[in-house]
Amino acid sequence: MHLSDNVTVADWIRRAPKVALHDHLDGGLRPATIIELARESGYEGLPSEDPVELAAWFRDAADSGSLERYLTTFAHTCAVMQTKEQLHRVAAECAEDLAADGIVYAEVRYAPEQHQERGLTLDEVVDAVNEGFREGERRTGGRITVRALLTGMRHTDRSTEIAELTIAHRDKGVAGFDIAGGEIGNPPARHLAAFQLLKQANCHYTIHAGEAVGPESVHEALQVCATERLGHGVRVIEDIEFAADGTATLGALAAYVRDNRVPLEVCPTSNLQTGIADGYKAHPIDDLRRLGFTITLNTDNRTVSGTTLSAEFQHLHEAFGYGPEILYDFTRAAVEAAFLPLPERTRLMDEVIDPAYDELAGRV
């Protein structure tokens, strides 16, 4: 694909319409908003009251080599997401920030149970976030559509309740369910009752798996819990053997994931911070892509990981030489894997994404 004019790489990446399936609401607050909300609400635990310093603090603290330590940083964002007004503001700004990065459709997840410290009911949490997303969509003039995924935390026992909440709010701004939190010691099958409830109700869900734990976690998420997509999933690479000449032999699980086109929600920067590899060039995404796995590209946590979806692609451009064709492939895979009705996915491709790529390539 030849780009029309003399656009820089950073420029076409940002201008290309993108789709984000794995972005945590509580991982993406604007640092200045965290500071303002902390002041207003009397939260005194922030490590800095300077937005630039606070942003750097998150990136550094997250860059810990361990998922468990990465997750401790969320105490500071969840602390300022405890009232309807706070949730509304954070959600509206999230939609604006994603749209400013060229994202046209996003599924944004959060754990409602983490926003009840000041007495909100689960329904009030979901309504406040949904209204915030609608407000953010309006402020962008409809350039973005945002749907919520409701997350149950792996280490608590509220996943069935959150699954019921997902079913109650489905098609009213909520597109599905997720399980997140520390993976070690909390296998997904602990939440089997929640998944069965969702299946009975024909509801969508995804599961974080294969991030800190290897193939056994991916296997359980897929074959015991019947997930539609894998949050990260990248440690499926541990079920592939590479010979010295580069030839790959897939184990049965890796072959299943690839051959059934199970979408992987890959978040390179977050994975590097939690210890999967030493640098972008060593991240498994390129091997997985070349072997034919279905890859979607995501941010995980924009503030905590100090990233944007454009930055994620820029890193891959630098590490592997990826160009517009591959960004298009990731985007199309994300649309196909989105928890949206088929006609809406078709409309997104035909009326938003393809025309914008045609324009970028000077075909119109």
Ligand X SMILES: O=c1[nH]cnc2c1ncn2[C@H]1C[C@H](O)[C@@H](CO)O1
Residues numbered 38 to 67 that lie near ligand X (CB under 6 A) are 67
Token code pair at residue 134: 């609608």
Cα separations in angstroms, 272 against 19, 63, 317: 21, 8, 16
Q: Which residues neighbour 6 within 8 Å (Cβ) at sequence distance 6 or greater?
A: none
| Segment contacting ligand X by CB under 6 A, of 109-117, 190-198, 258-266, 306-314 | 109-117
Distance separating alpha carbons of residues 35 and 44, to the nearest angstrom: 10
Among 151, 269, 296, 314, binds ligand X (CB under 6 A): 151
| Segment contacting Zn ion by CB under 5 A, of 2-10, 196-204, 277-285, 297-305 | 297-305
Applying CB under 5 A, does 183 fall inside the site for Zn ion? no
Applying CB under 6 A, does 181 fall inside the site for ligand X? yes
Distance separating alpha carbons of residues 97 and 165, to the nearest angstrom: 27
How crowded is residue 65: how many other Cβ atoms within 10 Å of its Cβ? 11
| Segment contacting ligand X by CB under 6 A, of 110-118, 129-137, 281-289, 347-355 | 110-118
Q: How far is the CB of 109 from Zn ion (least distance, A)?
A: 7
Q: How far is the CB of 82 from ligand X (least distance, A)?
A: 13
Q: How far is the CB of 25 from ligand X (least distance, A)?
A: 6
Distance separating alpha carbons of residues 316 and 319, to the nearest angstrom: 5
Nearer to ligand X, 159 or 328 (CB): 159
| Segment contacting ligand X by CB under 6 A, of 37-45, 85-93, 105-113, 216-224 | 105-113
Which residues are marked as active site?
211
Give the three-state DSSP class for 8.
coil
Applying CB under 6 A, does 180 fall inside the site for ligand X? yes
Applying CB under 6 A, does 26 fall inside the site for ligand X? yes
Give the three-state DSSP class for 116.
coil
Residues numbered 113 to 142 that lie near ligand X (CB under 6 A) are 114
Nearer to ligand X, 182 or 324 (CB): 182
Cβ pair 18, 310 in contact under 8 A? yes
Among 300, 314, 316, 317, binds Zn ion (CB under 5 A): 300
Applying CB under 6 A, does 30 fall inside the site for ligand X? no
Give the three-state DSSP class for 305.
coil
Q: What is the DSSP string of 310-349?
A: HHHHHHHHHHH---HHHHHHHHHHHHHHSSS-HHHHHHII
x/- mask, ligand X, residues 242-281, rule CB under 6 A, reads ----------------------------x-----------
Q: How far is the CB of 180 from Zn ion (least distance, A)?
A: 6
Give the three-state DSSP class for 88.
helix
Nearest residue to ligand X, scored by beta-carbon proximity: 180
How crowded is residue 118: how many other Cβ atoms within 10 Å of its Cβ? 11
Q: How far is the CB of 107 from Zn ion (least distance, A)?
A: 11
Q: Provide the terminal-to-terminal Cα distance of the chain, rounded to the nearest Å.
A: 14
- Contact residues for Zn ion (CB under 5 A)? 300
